Copies of this chain bind each other. A is one copy, B any other.
Amino acid sequence: MADSDKTDEVLNQSVQERLLNAAEDIFCEKGFEGTSIRDIAASAGCNIASVNYYFGGKQQLYEQVWKRHLIPMKDSRLQSIEKILLQNTKKHTLEDLIKSFAESFIGSIVDSQKVSNLNKLMAREYINKHLPANMFLEEVMMPTVTAMQKALIEAFPDINEEKIPFIVFSLIGQLVHVVHVRAMFENGIDDLTRKLFDSDEVINHIVKFTCAGIRTYIKENK
């Protein structure tokens, strides 16, 4: 199994790349503490000492795994917001904005398996922090939340502005919950929850549900 991974294509990658890829897979599956650098090195087909030689240690390898994805992840989410707002037509609806954001968050479109794994690792990071300071928080979460708040305020000025943080909280809460529930039921899902794995149906629900909630906060005066 480990040997079959070492295809020509893989072996053509540099040791650093192989380590990063192997580390990402195993970290996603087993979390930081659950992963040993011996596992990583074996999967990457190189010596344990390479981890320290190239990255300086397990911790810093973990950080590099993240840094490869944090900025693209953040950018993807920000772009999903801007994509809607910058439509030259002014007829973008609240539903459009929420839907575009939800899709980029859950990752129903591109590379869903990889996004799902990263989301799972991110869920771990919520609870057991291994990244320095609040790297993930400051580089991904806060910019995303802030951008979403700003988008709502600017595009839909009728919404009660001081409730915007709560609205974004509810939206992200639901989206994160999708990731968690999927992780919980990754082995043996039952009928009731299987639909949560159908991104379209979940997203449609979240969009409808959230927009209704948002419209509760529309100011009376217009």
Contact = CB atoms under 8 A, between A and B. Distances in A.
Interface of A: 31, 33-34, 120, 123-124, 126-128, 137, 163, 165-167, 169-170, 172-178, 180-181, 183-184, 192-193, 195-196, 202, 205-206, 208-210, 212-216
B137 A184 contact: yes
A205 B166 contact: yes
Contacts of A126: 123, 180, 183-184
Contact of A174 (B33, B170, B181): B170
A208 B214 CA distance: 10
Q: Which 7 pairs from chain A and chain B are nearest by CB?
A: A173-B177, A209-B213, A212-B216, A173-B174, A166-B205, A33-B33, A212-B212
Among A34, A167, A184, A196, the one with the most B-chain Cβ atoms within 10 Å of its Cβ is A184
A165 B195 contact: yes
B209 A127 contact: no
B170 A209 contact: yes
A169 B177 contact: yes
Contact of A181 (B169, B184, B195): B169
A125 to B, nearest CB: 9
